[in-house]
Amino acid sequence: MRQGQIAWWQSGVVYQIYPRSFRDSNGDGTGDLVGVREKIEYLSETLGVDAMWLSPFYPSPMADFGYDVADYTGVDPLFGTLADIDALIAAAHERGIAVIIDFVPNHSSDQHPWFRASRSSRADPKRDWYVWRDPKQDGSPPNNWLANFGGSAWQWDDATGQYYLHSFLPEQPDLNWRNPELKAAMFDTLRFWLDRGVDGFRIDVAHAIMKDPDLRDNPPNPDAGHGLHKSLGAYDAQLHIHDKGHPDVHGVYREVRALLDAYSAERPRVAIGEIHIFDWAEWARYYGAALDEMHLPFNFGLLGVHWSAQTVRRVVDGLEAALPAGAWPNYVLGNHDEPRIASRIGRDNAPLAMMLLLTLRGTPTIYYGDELGMRDVPIPPEREQDPWGKRVPGLGLGRDPERTPMQWDTSSHAGFCAPDVEPWLPVSDDAARVNVAVELADPGSMLALTRRLLALRRATPALAHGGYRPIDEAPADCFVYLRESDGQRVLIALNFAADERVLALPSLGHGAVVVSTRPERGGRISLDNFSLQGGEGCVIVLED
Ligand code: NOJ
């Protein structure tokens, strides 16, 4: 593909901000939208990313830290005001940064006026906006569906004598997308934000909004393994074939896409789906049969992958093979629901992982703080916040460790909030070393590497949108691939082993190392005999 035909969401890099944890501007220990705006130059100048994805900032009782939305067209006072989001969008656009916001269609808060109305009486006009059912004869829930966050997915409501469905917390009742009025109301909320200038949506548990219309029981999971990259406890005892992912979901996303396309004349608006499906063929359906659904169904293939050259390559090649013609790939190494990459594979391996993320073919999403090598922070039990960890103890499912305050500098609380304020989660005890200010001054830091990679990606068409070709002749511990565009050839050589490996790839000739995980490395090299230190990665521009 030539430049010009490439949209911003293809060549660009997305940076995920968890607003609670990025920067507290008003001294309440919780990050906010003004705080994000204060750091806009970090995003545009220091890093040079192309888009920010903001996790939810809507009014919410915060039972699931904003993924329980009580008003789809507002801003929670904790995060600011509508004027603050307008100002943030304007500031971002001035600097060429797109703003992607979270859209949470599967469930609202139980405090949303829609649900209050729905639960007020069986005759209420909004009753059918949620999923209500009679109990079985013995009084038990209508079927065996389980909530992601533990227990039955059904909550009994005494007042009206029925159960309602909640795929997550009881405070997050599932919306009924089969009801045309609910669907129309949700589309209005999308229009509200598109009219305010947002550039797209990250759609929360996108595949979950359509369930089996007959609400059939899920069958048991025969291999007792888990469908995800991590064990979810009792939830894994079922095959979740009826409680999410019904094929009717695709009709909804075709309509979402048509709406986005209608807004895209001036600049493309994008749909990114959170889709936890690890069967590539099923996952690929979310692009749409005519590439008319998600622009990017999030690819979570690298989240739990065993950290070796062979297994990582298998994920990449599996994705490439599964992509429908013309569909655009994407990669993530972490987000607000997953252990941080530097904890999962070790800080020493994190630079290699960043090089991988920023050189593969497809749109990368960087989770805030991963550019510093931030790690999961152990949370003392009395400070635990996440409802998942509290409801399903013992499995390490709590997500607080990866949501701790961004580490800006060496001042108290790492510059996240004022010194006399207690941040909502503890700051990492490595913050004196691992922070933006210190790392900016150190050419060998993770931040310095990330900046070099981002700048290179931006300046190098082969990296931004070129083709991908793995090199089979590389040593088994090395993942080596070519990115090519319009005659420009860039080789990426990643040594996953702890000690030296030598590449002997004479057919590739000579090249120049333009970025290495070892900052002192550079200059012209021969691929005849090219040695990589343990854990080293290099980006090499090949000679013609
Ligand atoms: C996925 C979100 O990423 C997660 O944080 C949230 O708890 C669930 N969906 C429910 O909305």
Ligand 1 atom showing the smallest separation from residue 107 Cα:
11
pLDDT at 526: 97
Distance 65 CA to ligand 1 centre (A): 9
> Strands 510-516, 523-526: parallel, antiparallel or unpaired by DSSP?
antiparallel
Ligand 1 pocket, residue 64 CB under 6 Å? yes
Q: What is the mean pLDDT of residues 154-160?
A: 98
> Which are the catalytic amino acids?
204, 274
DSSP 440-506: HT-TTSHHHHHHHHHHHHHH-HHHHH-EEEE-TTS-TTEEEEEEEETTEEEEEEEE-SSS-EEE--G
Q: 199 CB less than 6 Å from ligand 1?
A: no
Give 233's pLDDT tier (boundaries 50, 70, 90). Answer: confident
Distance from the CA of 350 to the center of ligand 1, in angstroms?
Answer: 25
Check residue 278 and give its pLDDT.
85
- Model pLDDT for residues 100-138, shown as the tens digit of each residue: 999 999 999 999 999 999 999 999 999 999 999 999 999
Closest-lying ligand 1 atom to the alpha carbon of residue 168? 10
Report CA(299)–ligand 1 centroid distance (Å).
16
- pLDDT exceeds cutoff 60 at 418: yes
Dump the DSSP string for 167-225.
SS-TTSPBB-TTSHHHHHHHHHHHHHHHHTT--EEEETTGGGG---TT-PPPPB-TT--
Is 337 near ligand 1, meaning CB less than 6 Å away? Answer: yes
SS3 81: coil
pLDDT digits (tens, 9 = 90+) for 309-363: 999 999 999 999 999 999 999 999 999 999 999 999 999 999 999 999 999 999 9
> Is ligand 1 within 6 A of the CB of residue 68?
no
Any atom of ligand 1 within 6 Å of the Cβ of 205? yes
418 token code pair: 């004022």
Quote the pLDDT of residue 230: 75
* Average pLDDT of the residues in 142-150: 96
Which one-letter DSSP state was computed for residue 428?
P
4 band by pLDDT with thresholds 50, 70 and 90: low
| Nearest-CA residue for atom 4 of ligand 1 | 337
Ligand 1 close to Cβ of residue 67 (< 6 A): yes
pLDDT number for residue 228: 58
Q: For the segment 486-537, what is each residue's pLDDT rounded down to a tens digit?
A: 999 999 999 999 999 999 999 999 999 999 999 999 899 999 999 999 999 9
What pLDDT band is residue 3 in, cutting at 50, 70 and 90? very low
**DSSP letter for each residue of 112-136:** SHHHHHHHH-TTSTTGGGB-EEPPP
Q: Give distance in angstroms: CA of 304 to centre of ligand 1.
A: 18
Residue 227 confidence class, pLDDT cut points 50, 70, 90: low
* Structure confidence at residue 394 as a pLDDT band (50, 70, 90): confident
Mutational test site, ligand 1, from 65, 104, 165, 168, max ligand atoms within 8 Å of CB:
168
171 lines ligand 1 (CB under 6 A): no
139 Cα to the center of ligand 1, angstroms? 30
Cα 329 to Cα 193, 254, 283, 304, 400: the distances in Å are 26, 19, 12, 18, 29
For position 224, what pLDDT does the model report? 63
Two structure tokens written together for 124: 């209420």
- Ligand 1: residue whose CA is nearest its atom 10: 67
The residue nearest atom 6 of ligand 1, judged by CA position, is 67
271 Cα to the center of ligand 1, angstroms: 17
- The per-residue b/e assignment along 320-349, b for 16 or more CB within 10 angstroms, e otherwise, is bebbeeebbbbbbbbbbbbbbbbbbbebeb
The CA–CA distances, whole Å, from 227 to 43, 140, 167, 277, 455 equal 35, 27, 16, 8, 37
What local confidence, expressed as pLDDT, does residue 2 receive? 38
Of 292, 105, 299, the C-alpha closest to 209 is 105
Quick one: pLDDT at residue 1? 34
* Distance (Å) from CA 268 to ligand 1 centroid: 26
pLDDT given for residue 396 in this prediction: 83
Which of 203, 204, 272 to mutate to test ligand 1, by most ligand atoms within 8 A of the CB atom?
204
Mean per-residue pLDDT over the chain, rounded: 96
